[in-house]
Amino acid sequence: MSDNFEISSSLKNNPPFKKKLWLAMKEKVLGKNYDLSLVFIGDKKSRSLNKKFRKKDYPANVLSFPVDRDMGEIFINWPNAQREAKKWERKPENFLDFLFIHGLAHLKGYDHLNEKDAEKMERFEKKIRKEFKI
């Protein structure tokens, strides 16, 4: 595992970590020298972060926070991901890949505040999913 990619969890029931795959995606999208922290959290922590930093009062599925040009954090709400996976008719493990890519896209500078930006972000995410066969 690379020294500049850490995965941690505050949960009792951890999701299946795909360290090798996620490291390859992280390096493809953000570069080998980018320091990334990936943290798995629950609804309570997700809601708290979302409210504090985005002024949204609900638990998000994924939150991304750039720290500086070469460092960032991704928080994935594993309980939420498990629920949403069913809604999208996906396995939770597969949906984690989608959320991780979405978090990486945000750290890369993509957003979905308007339709044009959302389309650019979706094209970028599809390209990464295709390359990694997700």
DSSP secondary structure letter of residue 15: P
Give residue 1's pLDDT: 42
Which pTM value belongs to this model?
Answer: 0.94
8 Å CB contact between 36 and 114: no
Give residue 50's pLDDT: 97
Give residue 66's pLDDT: 96
User: What is the spatial distance between Cα 25 and Cα 106, in angstroms, rounded to a whole number?
Assistant: 14
Consecutive 10-residue averages of pLDDT for the chain (134 residues): 81 90 97 97 97 96 96 97 93 95 98 95 97 96
Give residue 41's pLDDT: 97
Regarding the domain with residue range 5-131, which homologous superfamily does it belong to in the CATH classification? Metalloproteases ("zincins"), catalytic domain (3.40.390.30)
Residue ranges per structural domain of the chain = 5-131
Give residue 16's pLDDT: 87
pLDDT digits (tens, 9 = 90+) for 18-35: 999 999 999 999 999 999
User: What is the spatial distance between Cα 17 and Cα 100, in angstroms, rounded to a whole number?
Assistant: 11
